[in-house]
Structure 1
Protein backbone atom coordinates (compact mmCIF):
# COMPACT_ATOMS: atom_id res chain seq x y z
CA UNK A 1 0.00 0.00 0.00
CA UNK A 2 1.85 2.98 -1.29
CA UNK A 3 -0.47 5.85 -0.48
CA UNK A 4 -2.04 7.04 2.73
CA UNK A 5 -5.53 6.82 1.23
CA UNK A 6 -5.28 3.05 0.75
CA UNK A 7 -3.98 2.56 4.29
CA UNK A 8 -6.73 4.79 5.65
CA UNK A 9 -9.35 2.80 3.74
CA UNK A 10 -8.05 -0.45 5.23
CA UNK A 11 -8.22 0.77 8.84
CA UNK A 12 -11.66 2.34 8.32
CA UNK A 13 -12.97 -1.00 7.05
CA UNK A 14 -11.27 -2.93 9.86
CA UNK A 15 -12.78 -0.77 12.61
CA UNK A 16 -16.18 -1.68 11.18
CA UNK A 17 -17.44 1.43 9.39
CA UNK A 18 -18.99 0.37 6.11
CA UNK A 19 -21.15 3.50 6.02
CA UNK A 20 -18.58 6.26 5.86
CA UNK A 21 -21.01 9.01 6.88
CA UNK A 22 -21.43 7.18 10.21
CA UNK A 23 -17.71 7.54 10.78
CA UNK A 24 -17.90 11.22 9.81
CA UNK A 25 -20.64 11.69 12.40
CA UNK A 26 -18.61 9.80 15.03
CA UNK A 27 -15.57 11.98 14.40
CA UNK A 28 -17.58 15.19 14.23
CA UNK A 29 -16.45 16.11 10.72
CA UNK A 30 -18.42 17.23 7.69
CA UNK A 31 -20.45 14.67 5.79
CA UNK A 32 -18.54 12.84 3.00
CA UNK A 33 -15.16 13.80 4.48
CA UNK A 34 -14.04 10.19 4.87
CA UNK A 35 -15.36 9.17 1.46
CA UNK A 36 -13.33 12.00 -0.10
CA UNK A 37 -10.22 10.43 1.42
CA UNK A 38 -10.87 6.74 0.81
CA UNK A 39 -13.14 6.93 -2.24
CA UNK A 40 -12.37 7.72 -5.85
CA UNK A 41 -11.30 11.32 -5.17
CA UNK A 42 -8.32 10.20 -3.07
CA UNK A 43 -7.97 13.64 -1.48
CA UNK A 44 -5.19 13.90 1.08
CA UNK A 45 -6.56 13.72 4.64
CA UNK A 46 -5.93 16.83 6.68
CA UNK A 47 -4.17 16.85 10.05
CA UNK A 48 -7.37 17.75 11.94
CA UNK A 49 -9.16 14.73 10.50
CA UNK A 50 -6.29 12.37 11.28
CA UNK A 51 -5.98 13.74 14.82
CA UNK A 52 -9.68 13.09 15.47
CA UNK A 53 -9.42 9.61 13.96
CA UNK A 54 -6.38 8.64 16.05
CA UNK A 55 -7.89 10.03 19.26
CA UNK A 56 -11.19 8.22 18.73
CA UNK A 57 -9.52 4.94 17.72
CA UNK A 58 -6.27 4.56 19.66
CA UNK A 59 -5.80 1.04 18.32
CA UNK A 60 -4.87 2.48 14.91
CA UNK A 61 -1.12 2.62 14.44
CA UNK A 62 -0.49 6.24 13.43
CA UNK A 63 2.98 5.47 12.09
CA UNK A 64 1.57 2.81 9.75
CA UNK A 65 -1.18 5.09 8.43
CA UNK A 66 1.28 7.92 7.81
CA UNK A 67 4.27 5.98 6.46
CA UNK A 68 3.27 2.35 5.87
CA UNK A 69 5.83 1.13 8.42
CA UNK A 70 4.78 -1.43 10.99
CA UNK A 71 1.34 -2.96 11.40
CA UNK A 72 -2.06 -1.27 10.90
CA UNK A 73 -3.04 -1.69 14.55
CA UNK A 74 -1.11 -1.56 17.78
CA UNK A 75 -0.84 -5.07 19.23
CA UNK A 76 -1.90 -4.16 22.78
CA UNK A 77 -5.28 -2.80 21.66
CA UNK A 78 -5.96 -5.05 18.70
CA UNK A 79 -7.03 -8.09 20.72
CA UNK A 80 -9.25 -6.04 23.02
CA UNK A 81 -11.01 -4.33 20.11
CA UNK A 82 -11.45 -7.59 18.22
CA UNK A 83 -12.93 -9.31 21.27
CA UNK A 84 -15.31 -6.40 21.86
CA UNK A 85 -16.48 -6.53 18.24
CA UNK A 86 -17.05 -10.29 18.48
CA UNK A 87 -18.99 -9.84 21.72
CA UNK A 88 -21.25 -7.23 20.08
CA UNK A 89 -21.85 -9.53 17.11
CA UNK A 90 -22.60 -12.44 19.44
CA UNK A 91 -25.14 -10.36 21.36
CA UNK A 92 -26.89 -9.44 18.11
CA UNK A 93 -27.01 -13.08 17.06
CA UNK A 94 -28.45 -14.09 20.45
CA UNK A 95 -31.22 -11.50 20.06
CA UNK A 96 -31.95 -12.71 16.53
CA UNK A 97 -32.10 -16.33 17.74
CA UNK A 98 -34.48 -15.37 20.56
CA UNK A 99 -36.81 -13.68 18.04
CA UNK A 100 -36.77 -16.80 15.86
CA UNK A 101 -37.52 -19.00 18.87
CA UNK A 102 -40.54 -16.80 19.70
CA UNK A 103 -41.75 -17.04 16.13
CA UNK A 104 -41.40 -20.83 16.17
CA UNK A 105 -43.24 -21.07 19.50
CA UNK A 106 -46.04 -18.86 18.22
CA UNK A 107 -46.37 -20.84 15.01
CA UNK A 108 -46.38 -24.13 16.93
CA UNK A 109 -49.06 -22.88 19.33
CA UNK A 110 -51.11 -21.56 16.43
CA UNK A 111 -50.84 -24.90 14.66
CA UNK A 112 -51.95 -26.76 17.80
CA UNK A 113 -54.86 -24.36 18.29
CA UNK A 114 -55.99 -24.72 14.69
CA UNK A 115 -55.86 -28.49 14.92
CA UNK A 116 -57.83 -28.49 18.18
CA UNK A 117 -60.39 -25.92 17.02
CA UNK A 118 -61.03 -26.84 13.40
CA UNK A 119 -59.77 -30.26 12.54
CA UNK A 120 -62.37 -32.95 12.08
CA UNK A 121 -61.40 -36.49 11.21
CA UNK A 122 -61.56 -37.14 7.49
CA UNK A 123 -63.74 -40.20 8.05
CA UNK A 124 -66.61 -37.86 8.96
CA UNK A 125 -66.17 -36.06 5.66
CA UNK A 126 -65.82 -32.64 7.26
CA UNK A 127 -62.91 -30.42 6.32
CA UNK A 128 -62.01 -27.13 7.98
CA UNK A 129 -63.58 -24.30 6.00
CA UNK A 130 -62.13 -21.17 7.57
CA UNK A 131 -58.85 -20.85 9.41
CA UNK A 132 -58.93 -19.51 12.95
CA UNK A 133 -56.08 -17.27 14.10
CA UNK A 134 -57.02 -15.82 17.50
CA UNK A 135 -54.10 -17.36 19.38
CA UNK A 136 -51.56 -15.94 16.99
CA UNK A 137 -53.02 -12.44 17.16
CA UNK A 138 -53.13 -12.60 20.99
CA UNK A 139 -49.47 -13.62 21.11
CA UNK A 140 -48.53 -10.74 18.86
CA UNK A 141 -50.28 -8.30 21.19
CA UNK A 142 -48.39 -9.73 24.18
CA UNK A 143 -44.96 -9.47 22.53
CA UNK A 144 -45.46 -6.02 21.02
Structure 2
Protein backbone atom coordinates (compact mmCIF):
# COMPACT_ATOMS: atom_id res chain seq x y z
CA UNK A 1 0.00 0.00 0.00
CA UNK A 2 1.30 3.47 -0.89
CA UNK A 3 1.52 6.15 1.79
CA UNK A 4 -0.92 9.05 1.27
CA UNK A 5 0.45 12.18 -0.39
CA UNK A 6 3.72 10.57 -1.40
CA UNK A 7 4.55 10.76 -5.06
CA UNK A 8 5.63 7.55 -6.72
CA UNK A 9 8.34 8.49 -9.21
CA UNK A 10 8.92 4.92 -10.37
CA UNK A 11 7.55 5.84 -13.79
CA UNK A 12 4.79 3.25 -13.55
CA UNK A 13 1.75 4.12 -15.62
CA UNK A 14 -1.40 4.57 -13.48
CA UNK A 15 -3.43 2.19 -15.64
CA UNK A 16 -5.63 0.94 -12.79
CA UNK A 17 -7.66 4.18 -13.06
CA UNK A 18 -8.44 3.91 -16.75
CA UNK A 19 -11.95 2.95 -17.83
CA UNK A 20 -15.59 3.67 -17.12
CA UNK A 21 -16.85 4.05 -13.55
CA UNK A 22 -20.39 4.20 -12.15
CA UNK A 23 -21.34 5.83 -8.83
CA UNK A 24 -22.26 3.40 -6.03
CA UNK A 25 -25.09 5.28 -4.30
CA UNK A 26 -25.33 2.94 -1.31
CA UNK A 27 -21.78 3.70 -0.16
CA UNK A 28 -21.59 7.39 -1.09
CA UNK A 29 -22.47 10.35 1.14
CA UNK A 30 -22.30 14.12 1.55
CA UNK A 31 -21.53 15.90 4.82
CA UNK A 32 -24.63 18.11 4.58
CA UNK A 33 -26.90 15.04 4.50
CA UNK A 34 -28.37 16.05 1.13
CA UNK A 35 -27.09 13.18 -1.00
CA UNK A 36 -30.01 12.42 -3.36
CA UNK A 37 -32.17 9.87 -1.57
CA UNK A 38 -33.45 8.48 -4.86
CA UNK A 39 -29.87 7.97 -5.97
CA UNK A 40 -27.56 9.85 -8.22
CA UNK A 41 -26.76 8.70 -11.74
CA UNK A 42 -23.13 9.59 -12.43
CA UNK A 43 -20.71 7.91 -14.80
CA UNK A 44 -17.06 8.89 -15.19
CA UNK A 45 -14.62 7.79 -17.86
CA UNK A 46 -10.91 8.18 -17.13
CA UNK A 47 -8.03 7.74 -19.53
CA UNK A 48 -4.30 7.89 -18.89
CA UNK A 49 -1.35 7.93 -21.27
CA UNK A 50 1.32 8.05 -18.57
CA UNK A 51 1.52 11.85 -18.29
CA UNK A 52 -2.00 13.11 -19.04
CA UNK A 53 -5.46 12.50 -17.59
CA UNK A 54 -8.48 12.50 -19.88
CA UNK A 55 -11.70 13.00 -17.88
CA UNK A 56 -15.28 12.72 -19.06
CA UNK A 57 -18.31 12.71 -16.74
CA UNK A 58 -22.07 12.54 -17.28
CA UNK A 59 -24.53 13.21 -14.47
CA UNK A 60 -28.02 12.49 -15.73
CA UNK A 61 -29.74 12.17 -12.37
CA UNK A 62 -32.20 14.65 -13.88
CA UNK A 63 -32.68 13.34 -17.45
CA UNK A 64 -34.19 16.69 -18.47
CA UNK A 65 -30.99 18.54 -17.50
CA UNK A 66 -27.93 16.27 -17.83
CA UNK A 67 -24.59 17.75 -16.76
CA UNK A 68 -21.08 16.79 -17.61
CA UNK A 69 -17.48 17.80 -17.76
CA UNK A 70 -14.75 16.93 -20.26
CA UNK A 71 -11.09 17.87 -19.96
CA UNK A 72 -7.55 16.73 -20.59
CA UNK A 73 -4.76 17.82 -18.25
CA UNK A 74 -1.15 16.94 -17.45
CA UNK A 75 -0.75 15.02 -14.17
CA UNK A 76 2.00 17.27 -12.80
CA UNK A 77 -0.16 19.94 -11.13
CA UNK A 78 0.14 22.42 -13.99
CA UNK A 79 -2.91 24.71 -14.25
CA UNK A 80 -4.92 23.86 -17.36
CA UNK A 81 -7.66 26.07 -18.84
CA UNK A 82 -11.09 24.49 -18.72
CA UNK A 83 -13.87 25.32 -21.15
CA UNK A 84 -17.54 24.39 -21.20
CA UNK A 85 -18.19 25.03 -17.51
CA UNK A 86 -19.69 28.06 -15.79
CA UNK A 87 -18.51 26.76 -12.43
CA UNK A 88 -14.78 26.26 -13.14
CA UNK A 89 -12.22 27.86 -15.47
CA UNK A 90 -9.08 25.90 -14.50
CA UNK A 91 -8.23 22.37 -13.49
CA UNK A 92 -5.05 21.00 -11.89
CA UNK A 93 -4.29 17.27 -11.74
CA UNK A 94 -1.50 15.80 -9.63
CA UNK A 95 -0.45 12.16 -9.67
CA UNK A 96 0.34 11.06 -6.12
CA UNK A 97 1.09 7.37 -6.70
CA UNK A 98 0.06 4.54 -9.01
CA UNK A 99 -3.20 4.26 -7.01
CA UNK A 100 -3.83 7.92 -6.05
CA UNK A 101 -4.26 11.30 -7.68
CA UNK A 102 -5.72 14.71 -6.91
CA UNK A 103 -7.92 17.02 -8.98
CA UNK A 104 -8.47 20.69 -8.15
CA UNK A 105 -11.24 22.62 -9.95
CA UNK A 106 -10.75 26.39 -9.73
CA UNK A 107 -12.52 29.57 -10.76
CA UNK A 108 -10.39 32.73 -10.89
CA UNK A 109 -7.72 31.00 -8.73
CA UNK A 110 -10.28 30.06 -6.03
CA UNK A 111 -10.50 26.30 -5.34
CA UNK A 112 -14.13 25.28 -5.86
CA UNK A 113 -13.61 21.51 -5.61
CA UNK A 114 -10.61 19.62 -4.22
CA UNK A 115 -10.75 15.84 -4.67
CA UNK A 116 -8.47 13.00 -3.65
CA UNK A 117 -8.97 9.86 -5.75
CA UNK A 118 -7.85 6.33 -4.88
CA UNK A 119 -8.32 3.09 -6.81
CA UNK A 120 -8.28 -0.32 -5.13
CA UNK A 121 -5.28 -2.58 -5.69
CA UNK A 122 -7.57 -4.91 -7.69
CA UNK A 123 -8.62 -2.01 -9.94
CA UNK A 124 -12.33 -2.74 -9.46
CA UNK A 125 -13.28 0.04 -7.02
CA UNK A 126 -12.61 3.78 -7.08
CA UNK A 127 -13.16 6.29 -4.26
CA UNK A 128 -13.03 10.05 -4.33
CA UNK A 129 -13.11 12.17 -1.22
CA UNK A 130 -13.19 15.91 -1.31
CA UNK A 131 -14.66 19.25 -0.45
CA UNK A 132 -16.72 21.31 -2.84
CA UNK A 133 -18.17 24.82 -2.69
CA UNK A 134 -21.68 25.40 -4.05
CA UNK A 135 -22.51 28.40 -6.27
CA UNK A 136 -24.01 29.94 -3.09
CA UNK A 137 -20.58 29.71 -1.43
CA UNK A 138 -21.44 26.88 1.00
CA UNK A 139 -18.94 24.02 1.32
CA UNK A 140 -19.58 20.33 1.87
CA UNK A 141 -17.36 17.29 2.12
CA UNK A 142 -18.21 14.23 0.06
CA UNK A 143 -17.18 10.62 -0.12
CA UNK A 144 -18.17 8.88 -3.34
CA UNK A 145 -17.51 5.30 -4.38
CA UNK A 146 -17.50 3.97 -7.93
CA UNK A 147 -17.51 0.51 -9.45
CA UNK A 148 -15.89 -0.35 -12.75
CA UNK A 149 -18.21 -0.73 -15.74
CA UNK A 150 -17.49 -3.07 -18.62
TM normalised by structure 2 equals 0.23
Q: Higher helix proportion, which one?
A: 1
Pick 1 or 2: higher relative contact order, CA cutoff 8 A, min separation 6: 2
TM normalised by structure 1 equals 0.24
